[in-house]
Structures are given as C-alpha cells and as structure tokens.
Structure 1
Amino acid sequence: MTQPRRYLAISLLSALIAAGLWYWMRPAPSAKIPAASSSYSAALAQAHNGQPGAARVLYQQLARTDLSDTRRVSLHAELPNYPSPQALKLADADLQHPSPQVRQAAIQSIVGLVPGAQRTLLLGPLLDDPEQSVRFAAANALLGLSPDEQGLYFGPLQQVIDEFERELKTRPDDPQAQGQLARLYLHEGQLDEARAALEKVTALDPQNLKAVVAQIELLDKRGQTDTARQLLARQLEAHPESAYLQHALGIWLLNHGQTEYALLGLAKAVELEPDNSEYRYRLAIALHDLDQLEAAQRQLEELLQRQPANRKARVMLIRYWKESGQIQNVQVLLAQMEQLNPDDPALQQGL
C-alpha cells in the first residue's frame, strides 16, 4: 500500500473510532424528560408555598400543551391565589380542554378568580357541555347567584338543575347524593323536601355532621330557633372535640348577634384544627368586629405562617395593618405580594 493510501486509511479509521466514541458517550435523549418533570414539580411547590415568582412559573406551566390532565388539575388548585388577566385567560382556555376533569378544575379556578355576576358569562356556556359532570359542576358554581346575576343563563341553569335533581333521585341510598339534593331543594325554597333529604342523609350516615349543620340552618330558616339551638347543643355534647361543630356553633351565635360568645366556639375550632385556614380567617374577622384588632392581626399572621400562599389572608392583613396605621408592615406585605404576583389586581388598584 502506498504511503498516501496508508494515511487515508488511518484517517478514515480514526474518524470511525471518534464517531463510535461520540455515539456511546453522548447524553441519552431521555435526559430532557426529568428536566420537564422537575420544572413542573418545582413550579407547583413554589406556588403552593407562596415563594417569590410563584405566579410567573405557575402561568408558564399552565401554558404548556404537554402536561397530563392530572398535573393541569393540580395547577388549577393553586391558581385562585394568583389572580391576574393572564390567570383568567389560562383558566378560560381550559374551559375548552378535551378532558372533563380539566374543565371542572378550570370551573373551580374561575369561581376563585371572578366575582359572581361576571362569572356567569364565563361559565354559562358550560351548562350546555356534552359531559354531564361538567354541566353539573357549572350549575353548582352558579347556584348561589341571584336571578339577575344569572342573567341570560337563568333558563339553561334551571334545566340543568332539574336534570341534576332527577339524577340524584336515582341514588336514594347514597348519602352524598341526598346531601346534594337537599342543597338544591334549599336553593329552590323547597324546605320540606330539603328536610326529608337531610333526614335521609343522617339515617344513612349518622356521623355526617355536615347534614346536621344543614338541618340546623334549615330550622333557622323556618324560624324554629329554639329547636335549632337544642339540636346543636345535643350534637356538641355528643361530639365535643369536633372542630366542625365548634365552628358551626360560632357561626350560629354570630348570626344571632352574640359575637362575644361566638368567639369561644370559633377559637375552639381553631385550637382543634390549627391548620384550617377558613376557621382561622373567620376567627380573625370576628375579633376585628369586636375591635380586637391586634388579636385579629395575630391570627392572620399565623395563618400566613402556615399557608404563605393564602392571598385572601394577606389582603385582609394589609387592610388591618392600614387600619392601625402600621405603614411599615403594610409595605412589607405589599412587597411580598409583588414578589409573588406583580400583576395582582389588588396591587394594580392600589390596595
């Protein structure tokens, strides 16, 4: 073999060896998949824990088209804490998602992001959704609105409610179905039918305290205050460690103008379930109503320590700090809110 040909052969062999080494040593294509998964997980944790930049990464994840339905549903659970035009746009887009589960999650996001009257225009079209569960979710989201707020969708809503009632009646041995049926009857002012449905719930599930509280509310609606009080007292005697019943006692006393006594029940509920944000938030409002502003602020501060993403508590605490002239504390909370979500309407409106 001549010398030039020998050099050519050696060069070709070297190139083949280099190509082979590159092939075996190159990063595996699947390395990109964990990165996407990590990005989703990190964004979800950032939003759930109320960390700076949470809104931005949450929106980025919801804008993706390659997420599983389960992951989209989890992201929607966090979205109401980060309102903005972009958040509303993302939730509205998912009302058209192919998955019924995602559409239902988007409905809940809309409920958290949009006041009642405006909500109707967004959710009304879903009363005609091909999936029954989505129609029922949309109806449930519009149920508490007045006829004026329901507007053009008043008729379609009544049709879906009738359909929902017929479906629930086919499940007489399901306590959850009977509880939903009672709620529909209460909405329509059919108090006797609501009472019968609630009695069926307690017969099927004697430990269902939500049904008991609904019965107490129903008795109040009928002007049977003493009977309601006696039923609540019996249940508290049977379940003294129930945070749900203690909270119900506090609310019942508030509704009957006994705010000072109501604090005992509300505070006991928080003591029994310290991580329940709704119980602590309601206690803070009751303390504020009794001019116990510092105590109310402490409850909201504790709530935010436990749930840093809780926007409702943050907005209320800002108002309370303003009320007491603690401008430095207001500025700190506003700065935190801007770090979380610079497009928050409360910031734009000069809270």
Structure 2
Amino acid sequence: MQLRSWKIGLGGISVAALVIFFASRGHRESEPEIAPRAESSEPTSLALSPSEARRAQFVGSASCTLCHEEQAKAYTSSHHALALAVPERAEVDARFDGSSFTTKHGGATQFLQEEGSPRVSGPGADGSASSFAVPYVSGVWPLKQYVVDAGRGKLQSFGVAWDERAETQDGKRWFHLYGPEGIAPGDRLFFTAPAQNWNHMCADCHSMFVERRYDVDADRFDTKWSELSVGCEACHGPGAEHVKSARDNPGKAPVAFAVSLQRSEPWVRAESGSPSPHKQDGVEVNTCAPCHSLREPIQEAFFAHEAFLDFFSPELLTPPHYHGDGQVRGEVYEWGSFLQSRMYQAGVRCSDCHEPHSGKTRAEGNSLCVSCHDAERFDAPQHSHHQGKNAPACIDCHMPPATFMQVDERRDHSIRIPRPDLSVSFGTPNACNGCHTKESATWARDRALSFYPGLRARKQATEALLLHAQGAVEAPKALRALALDEGSPEIVRATALERLGRYPSEKTTQTFRQVLGRGRPLLTYGAVLGAAQLPLTERAQLLLPILKRAERASRVAIGKALASVPLARLPKDERRALEEAFHEVEEAFHVSSSRAETHVERSAFELARGRFDEARRALEIALRIEPCLTEAYLNLAELERQRKNEAASGAALHEALKCNPSSASAAHALGLWQVRNGQGTAALESLEKAVRAAPNDARFGYVYAVALSGQGKRQEAIRVLEGVLKEHPNDQSALGALMGLLPDKTTPRAEEARARLAALRD
C-alpha cells in the first residue's frame, strides 16, 4: 500500500468461492488478535445492534458454491479472492527462512519463523530491534504485501514486499515499496505509522463488510469483518434471504438480490459497424466504485447496492492525484478515470471488458478492443501508423500505463486519444512520448498532426481545466461553459464546478444555482465543493435549500462549509436540516478517527461553531496520534488567538517550526502572529521564509507584499506581487494589491491588471 491523499481506494470486489478455498483461507467473523475484553456485570441484551443486524444478513461465499459452481471456480484464484489471506505453509517455508533485506534508511529486516508462524524482525517505531507476527498476506500479483500485528488490534502494512513476477522480470525477490533507500523509523511513511495502518487505510476493500471500530481513548482497534477476503456478497449484497429461499423452496427461483448486476440487453453492432450505445444505469459502476476509487469514507460498513455518494466522498480530478487534463498521476484506481471516458458515456461498463468472477479481461490484446470496434479500421497499420512485431497494442496508445508500488503497472481507464498538441500547450503527458522518450513533445505533435490533420480541432472536455491550471484569463468563462455542457462527462463537469469556486462573481453564483437545482448527484457534489469557497452569505443562500435532497457526501460537505452559520438565525426547517448535517459530519469524523488529520479537521469544524473545548480536545488527540503534525499546531495557534491568548498562540507556532523547520505554513502563520504582536522586522523575515519555502503559493506572496507595503517598502512589495502574478496571473488578491500600489494608474502595467481583474470578475 502506498500513502495516498487520505481519501482511500483499494482494488477488490468479487462474486463466489469454493468451500475448500474458504476452509483453508479464512472464516467468518474474523478479527485481529487483541487483549481479552473485561467481563461486564451488566445484563446481556439479546437484541442485535444495528451493525450486528446488518452483519447477520451475510452468509459467506461458501454458501454460494453448490448452486454457482462455474462462477466459484473462476473466482478461486482471482485477485479479489486473494485480497487478504493467511499465508500458505509453502509460502512461509520458502520466504520466511531467515533471509534478510537491508535499506539505507530502514535498516535490516529478517524474515523468520516462530513455531511455524511467519515473523519479521527489524527496527520498530522508535528504531529499536522489534519482532512482529505476520498474520496475513495481501494480494497475489505482481506483488504480495505482508500485514503485521503491531498490538492493540492494529494491523500495519509492512514496507518490504515480495515481488511475484518471474526472475526474468527481476522478480522473486524482496523489495521496498518506497525504493531501495527505504523509510526511516519516525517518518510518516514508516510501516508502524498511522498512514500505513491496515485497519483504516486498507481493510474495507481487502475484506468484506468491515467495521474499523477504533477506540480513540484506548488507541485500540476492534476491527470486524463478515469475510476475510472479498467474497460474493461484496458485489451482490447480503445473501441470507436469497440462500434461505433457495433452501426452503428447492426447484423454485430463489428471492433475487436487492440489485441485479445482469445487463437487460446484450451489446449488438449497429448497421454503421460501430457498437450501438447503451444507457448507463450506473448500477455496476456504483458497485465497483467503493473499492476502485480514491475516496474518503463517511459511513462505516457499506453494502454493495447502496449509493456510492451516501458512503464516500470521492476525489474529483484534482492535482496532485491527476494531471491537469484528468490523466492518472497518483494512485487513484479506475473510477475517476473511467467516468471521463467515451466508453462510459456510451454505456460500457466494467464487465464488458472484465469477466467479473475471475477479474481477467474477456480477451487478450487487441482482440478485446475489436470485439466492439471495427478491426479493419482500427486494428491496422493505417490507423496506428506502426507496423511489425513491435507495433503498440491499442492500450499502449489509449490506456498508457503508470507504475505504482515499484512494480505494479496499471492502465489509465480514461481511454483517451493521445494529444501531444496539448502537451506542447499545457505540459501534460501523452502516450507518444511514453514510448518515444528521446523525442520532444513538439516532435510528437508534428508527427501526430501529419497522421491525423483534424486532431487539433478535436475538442477535449478537460481543456477548460487546463486553462484554469495555466492561469488563463478566459478560465472562468471556460469553466462555466464546461459545467453546463450536457455533452461532457459528469466527473469533468463536477471538477469544473469545484474549480469555479476560485472565481467568485455573479455569473459563478448563477452557474452553481443552475446546477444545484437539477439534483444530479455528482454534479451537485462538485457544485457544493465549489460554492463552499464563496463568502459565507452566498454559500448559505446556495446550499441550505438543497440539504434535504442532497446525497450524504454533499450534506457532509455542506455541514463543514456552513459550520459558522448562526443556527439561531435560521428558520426552523433549515436549522433542523443543518443540525442533521452537523451530526453526519461528526459521524464521518468518527469513521476516520484513527487518523490525526481527522482530528485537525474536526478542530477547525468545532472552532467554526465556537466550541473551543471540543476543538482543543480534537487537537490533543491529533498530537497524541502524531506528535509532530504541523497542521495541529497551526490550528492550536488559531484557537488560542481566538481566545485572546497570544502568548500560547505564539508558543504553538514555535513548536510547529521546531518539529518542522522547513514548513512554509508554520513560517507564514508565525509571521502573521508577529505582525499582530508588533514585531514588524521579525514578521518580514518569517513571511519571506514562507515565500522561499513555497514560491508557488500565491497567498504567501500576496501577504508578504502587503506586509512590505505596510512598512513603507512599496517597490519591494510591487516586485513581490509581480513575481506572484508571473506564476499566477489570475490571482485576484495580487492583482488588486498591485493596482493599489502602482503610483501611476494609467501605465500599461496598471491597465493590464485592471482589465484582467475585470475579466475575472465578469
């Protein structure tokens, strides 16, 4: 597992299993080893809790085998079936044989056995020699990652993994997931750190119906799951009623599952020779999305048939996870990419290319693509302009690979046409230069245009996002047009709406109002994220009316955005709806309560509500989990500022810099504190340090310029603002400040700033 934005997504969904497989691999109601619970003197309740009642609806994949033997056979060796397993005896003997692996920063790790059970020995959290049991192995190919027991119910993803590839591919070896130098104890990426915690980061997509059950006060997990790996009910939903009806009524069709994953009509090739489009009902993609997307959980223990946006807040096409045009950059899995594709718009779904039980593609090579696309037209040299045995496959050009975890090559599921012309204009990658690495993007563009003269005229929906990333003055207009373009993919439009919040204007507000009135879940979510960046009054006017009908992801985002709204001033219905949203925000925080970042975010939420004690408690927990988390100290400083305790506020900022001397955010915050406390010279030093540490942060530059101006250093302030605008030509704060500082408002420089600012506010 690699550290992500702490939105989470892991691969794994499945459908059936053999009895013999589950007898050897795991059992229902599995849980990590933890200390025995203390006996209670309270009377035992015979009633099931809500989570226990939901769990009781699962029967386990072994129950499916008698009637679904063919599917079970395909499933047994799938990646889903092996998402989490107990290490095999032969595997333990072959690898945990006393061998060792050493990295520069992580030291030496030895792979041992103790009474036949695998263990790893090496530096622990504090760097001292430690030994850990290895109860589970995750994945099957191209790597296997081992899961260690760190005590108190905590399972951790070990940093040294096994390369399952062939020796001819440099496989069959131990390697470190973060490269040959490894990770040092104390680093946020070291295997004992919260970022590598299996229970929170990985479990709900490598096991089934997972409840993390983290106890904040005890710093302990009591994680439970309905099935060790990812079984049939992960996709089909709970099977108790289905199995009972089959047993009670032999020979009759059993009760169907809540949602059918069968397509109602087959794909057929239209008279034009192209496949006929299908209406995308979204059921299958909704089923796969929880584990094939980068997302943040907002409720515990999802069912397969439940709405994705009621359980998760997904990452849109935002950097650094995606390139500016939506191509894969980070470990984002498939959902966000696939929703951009023309295939998805035409009704293609996951199982059209992947057999759902084995997980394998339905055909090899180009044969898979020409099952829909005309082979004579597309699987031919005149289309690819490459010939011979080294000619690229369809996926090499349209689904270029990216490698994660050192050896895991994954394809970009946005399935796009290579655009080297956009690489020249915007610096985005293209598949041509992925192979022709010694050539320039200009060379690739010229070659592509010679093959396909109409390429440049072909509009790509994400070009508006690229204009925003480039700081083009026409970005707001382009984003508004994209947001309302019914012909563009919804995830691209949702991303445009989120970006649009950076350009407050009446037209921006009107765009949000139009989208929010239509009630389309993903677009609503994007519009909420965008509107959350507007001033509070506008924010509330846009978001309060949709609270009752929005999906939970949007309600949680609205609750966070409107935390500072005075409840007493709202009409009764709106007050009740917002209070319910606040409760859902708190539930979302609870799901991720093992993460220090969660408590930092909670502190900001509580501070906005004026709940100082709750905010302080959240920060205390954050710093207990991660004692040197800069963001926690910054929020603590803000809390003390609001409580009029400037001495404590400054102490928190100095502590932040002691933990992380290179932190731009901490230096910037300290500079502001020094301004407030009359330390002008020191403030300029701190604010300049922040700019040097984060030269691309427009706000840091703007604030530094304002501080310079305040101390009579006008020319220096102008120079800083011009530097900001060189990198961020559309920053409205910097443009406004520059216009105010220029002594002659009629110069071309002042006129340009005025015109640009007017265009941005149009």
Q: TM-score of the superposition, structure 1-length normalised? A: 0.76
Q: Tell me which amino acid in the other structure corresponds to 2:668.
A: H
**How big is the shift at 1:266?**
0.9
Query: Aligned partners of 1:34, 1:150: CA distance in 2, in Å?
Result: 54
1:231 and 1:51 mapped to 2: Cα distance? 39
User: Is structure 2 residue 541 aligned with structure 1 residue 121?
Assistant: yes
1:76-106 CA-partner distances (Å, limit 9, x unpaired)? 2442454444332222222245554432321
SS in 2 for 1:40: coil
Task: Give the counterpart of 1:293 among 714, 718, 722.
Answer: 714
Going from structure 1 to structure 2, the CA distance change for 1:167 and 1:42 (only over 3 Å counts) comes to closer
How far apart, in 2, do the equivalents of 1:269 and 1:107 lie? 31
The alignment status of 1:42 with 2:476, answered yes or no, reads: no
Match of 2:738 in 1: 317
- Relative distance call for 1:149 and 1:306 in structure 2 (3 A) is farther
Q: Are residues 1:71 and 2:487 paired?
A: no
CA contact (8 A) 1:81 1:311 kept: no
Percent of aligned positions that are identical: 24
Instruction: Find the aligned partners of 1:53 and 1:227 in 2 and give their Cα distance.
Output: 45
Is 1:95 aligned with 2:516?
yes
Whether the aligned pair in 2 keeps the contact of 1:48 and 1:78 (CA below 8 Å) is no
Considering only aligned residues, what root-mean-square deviation do their CA atoms show, in Å? 3.3
- Is contact 1:185–1:191 with CA below 8 Å preserved after alignment? yes
Structure with the largest fraction of strand? 2
Which digits, 9 at most, give the CA deviation of each residue in 1:206-245, with x for residues without a partner?
Answer: 3421111112223344454434433432332332211121
Write out aligned runs for 1:137-286 (5 A). Answer: 137-146=557-566, 153-286=574-707
Q: Against the structure 1 CA distance between its residues 39 and 189, is the aligned structure 2 distance closer, same or farther, given a 3 Å change threshold?
A: closer
Give the paired residue count.
Answer: 313
- Deviations along 1:243-271, one digit per CA (max 9) or x if unpaired, are 12111211222233433321111110001
Aligned to 1:110: 531
Match of residue 553, structure 2, among 107, 120, 133: 133
Deviation at 1:199, TM superposition (A): 1.3
Deviation at 1:282, TM superposition (A): 1.4
Shift of 1:154: 4.2
SS of the aligned residue for 2:459 comes to: helix
Which structure 1 residue ranges, 5 or more long, are not aligned? 1-23, 346-351
In structure 2, relative to structure 1, the CA distance for the partners of 1:80 and 1:189 (3 Å cut) is closer
Q: Which runs of 5+ in 2 are unaligned?
A: 1-376, 378-382, 384-416, 418-451
Decide whether aligned partners of structure 1 residues 337 and 183 sit closer, same or farther in structure 2, where only a CA change above 3 A counts.
closer
| Post-superposition offset of 1:308 | 1.8
Q: Say which of 465, 479, 490 aligns to 1:58.
A: 479
Distance 1:286 1:180, change over 3 A: same
Q: Is the 8 A contact 1:304 1:314 kept in 2?
A: yes
The answer as to whether partners of 2:619 and 2:636 remain within 8 angstroms in 1 is yes
Identify the residue that residue 8 of structure 1 maps to in structure 2. Answer: none
Partner residue in 1 for 2:746? 327
- Helix, strand or coil at the partner of 1:327: coil
**Does the C-alpha gap of structure 1 residues 218 and 80 become closer, same or farther in structure 2, counting only changes over 3 Å?**
closer
Please give the alpha-carbon distance, in whole angstroms, between the structure 1 residues aligned to 2:483 and 2:603: 36
State the 1:173 CA deviation: 1.4
| Distance in structure 1 (CA, Å) of the matches to 2:548 and 2:467 | 36
- Shift of residue 284, structure 1, vs aligned partner: 1.7
Question: SS of 2:471's equivalent?
Answer: coil
Post-superposition CA distance 1:299-340 (Å, at most 9, x none): 22111100123233223322332xx233213212223445x5
> After the TM superposition, which of the residue ranges 134-143 and 36-45 deviates more from structure 2?
36-45
CA contact (8 A) 1:176 1:201 kept: yes
Contact conserved, 1:73 with 1:102, CA < 8 A, in 2? yes
Residue 232 of structure 1 aligns with an amino acid whose one-letter code is L
What is the rounded CA distance, in whole Å, between the counterparts of 1:310 and 1:151 in structure 2?
37
CA–CA distance in structure 2, aligned partners of residues 80 and 265 of structure 1: 30
Quote the Cα distance in structure 2 between the aligned partners of 1:151 and 1:320. 44
* Contact 2:564/2:609 (8 A) holds in 1: no
State whether residues 40 and 61 of structure 1, in contact with CA within 8 Å, keep that contact through their aligned partners in structure 2: yes
Whole-Å Cα distance in 2 between the matches of residues 203 and 85 of structure 1? Answer: 45
- Following superposition, the deviation at residue 167 of structure 1 comes to 4.0
Identify, as 1 or 2, the structure richer in helix: 1
Aligned residue identity for 2:603: A
What secondary structure is seen at the aligned counterpart in 2 of 1:38? coil
How many Å apart are 1:53 and its aligned residue?
3.8
Q: Aligned AA for 2:536?
A: G
Query: Residues 235, 59 of structure 1: CA spacing in aligned structure 2 closer, same or farther, 3 A cutoff?
Result: closer
